[in-house]
């Protein structure tokens, strides 16, 4: 089936799945509903599964200024077929936190240059491009099990540098990145706690909030016991 007829078929299916009542409620979650339909994520995911991965269809849907069409594009996209140039094309269309977060978690985290893009995007001015940098840091900390501590250390100066950004979706992403990196192991935890303590002393309210919220999790005894046990297991396995 050619892509264009399939796109029309998909758009008809999305309209059929739409719920106007859900669309109205998106604003409460900080999502722009101007170009939304109102479809629950599990419903959209089930529909995406029925279509299977399809990069050509994903690229076509991404060009449509419709919130759920772009979310569906993310679900259908093939990370291995993304170039740096294509990532740049997509990031410039980010207009909500969920589009940003889903693209980072499902696509961008899986490309070879994810660490460098996280650092590059973190210092940008547009809200969702900057958010993408820090969300990518957080998702790398979650999903890249083989990455070394040295790969994450350059993230800390960027978190400190940008922590005075008062925009809600930026400061929350920095907080998320700080917490996730700090939960990988004891070494990164200590670095994250040290940074949070420094941020707490900064005059910017955003930096203080990032620090206070992060420290609650990073210094939690349950987490520290878990990280200590994990490190002991690794040392035993290395003997």
pLDDT digit string, tens, across residues 177-192: 999 999 999 999 999 9
Residue 64: inside a domain, yes or no?
yes
Radius of gyration of the chain (CA): 20
Residue 148 inside a domain? The answer is yes
Whether 109 and 212 map to the same domain: the answer is yes
* Final residue in a domain of this structure, among 77, 110, 142: 77
State residue 235's pLDDT score. 82
Q: What is the band of 27 on the pLDDT scale with cuts at 50, 70, 90? A: very low
Domain assignment of residue 91, yes or no: no
Whether residues 142 and 209 share a domain: the answer is: yes
The confidence score (pLDDT) of residue 39 equals: 83
Average of per-residue pLDDT values in the chain: 92
Check if the beta carbon of residue 71 is closer than 8 Å to that of residue 46.
no
If you average pLDDT over residues 119-139, what whole number do you get? 98
Give the pair of three-digit tokens for residue 213. 């919220």
Q: Do 187 and 73 sit in the same domain of this protein? A: no
pLDDT for the residue numbered 18: 82
Residues 69 and 107 in one domain: no
Q: Are 131 and 45 contained in the same domain? A: no
In this structure, are 237 and 123 located in the same domain? yes
Instruction: Tell me if 90 is assigned to some domain.
Output: no
59, pLDDT greater than 90: yes
pLDDT at 1: 45
Say whether both 69 and 115 belong to one domain: no
Between CA 113 and CA 91 the distance in angstroms is: 15
Q: 106 and 63, same structural domain?
A: no
State the pLDDT at residue 42.
92
Q: Which residues contact 124 (CB under 8 A, 6 or more apart)?
A: 130, 133
Residue 108 and residue 65 in one domain: no
Closest CA to 135 of 106, 89, 176, 87: 176
The pLDDT value given to residue 104: 98
Q: What is the CA 16 to chain-centroid distance, rounded?
A: 29
Residue 197 sits in the same domain as residue 126 = yes
Measured distance CA(187)–CA(231) in Å, rounded: 10
> Within a domain: residue 85?
no
Count of CB atoms situated within 10 Å of the CB of 238: 6
The count of domains in the chain is: 2
Weakest-pLDDT range from 37-41, 162-166, 186-190: 37-41
Asked if residue 38 belongs to a domain, the reply is yes
State how far the Cα of 209 lies from the Cα of 200, in Å rounded to an integer. 8
**Residue 200 contacts residue 165 (beta carbons within 8 Å):** no
Say whether both 168 and 221 belong to one domain.
yes
Q: How far apart are CA 195 and CA 122, in angstroms?
A: 17
Q: Answer whether residue 89 is part of any domain.
A: no
What is the model's pLDDT at position 237? 80
Domain closes at, from 11, 45, 77: 77
pLDDT tens-place string over residues 71-112: 999 999 999 999 999 999 999 999 999 999 999 999 999 999
Which residues constitute the domain of residue 10? 1-77
> Do 39 and 100 fall into the same domain?
no
Residue 87 lies in a domain: no
- Alpha-helical (H) ranges within 27-148 are 41-51, 55-62, 67-76, 84-91, 97-106, 114-122, 127-143
pTM reported for the whole predicted model: 0.90
151-163 tens-digit pLDDT: 999 999 999 999 9
CA distance 185 to 206: 26
Last residue of one domain, picked from the residues 46, 77, 108:
77
């Amino acid at each position: 089936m050619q892509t264009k007829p399939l796109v029309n078929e998909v758009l008809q299916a999305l309209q059929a799945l739409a719920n106007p009542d859900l669309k109205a409620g998106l604003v409460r979650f900080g999502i722009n509903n101007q170009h939304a339909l109102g479809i629950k994520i599990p419903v959209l995911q089930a529909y995406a599964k029925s279509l299977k991965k399809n990069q050509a269809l994903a690229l076509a849907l991404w060009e449509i200024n419709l919130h759920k069409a772009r979310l569906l594009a993310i679900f259908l996209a093939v990370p291995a077929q993304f170039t740096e140039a294509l990532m740049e094309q997509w990031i410039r269309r980010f207009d909500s936190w969920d589009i940003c977060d889903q693209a980072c978690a499902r696509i961008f985290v899986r490309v070879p240059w994810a660490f460098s893009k996280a650092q590059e995007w973190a210092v940008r001015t547009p809200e969702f491009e900057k958010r993408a940098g820090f969300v990518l840091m957080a998702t790398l900390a979650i999903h890249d099990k083989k990455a070394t501590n040295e790969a994450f250390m350059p993230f800390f100066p960027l978190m400190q540098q940008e922590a005075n950004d008062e925009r809600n979706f930026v400061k929350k992403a920095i907080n998320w990145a700080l917490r996730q990196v700090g939960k990988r192991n004891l070494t990164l935890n200590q670095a994250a706690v040290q940074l949070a303590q420094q941020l707490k002393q900064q005059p910017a309210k955003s930096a203080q909030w990032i620090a206070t919220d992060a420290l609650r999790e990073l210094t939690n005894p349950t987490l520290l016991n878990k990280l200590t046990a994990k490190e002991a297991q690794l040392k035993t396995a290395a003997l």
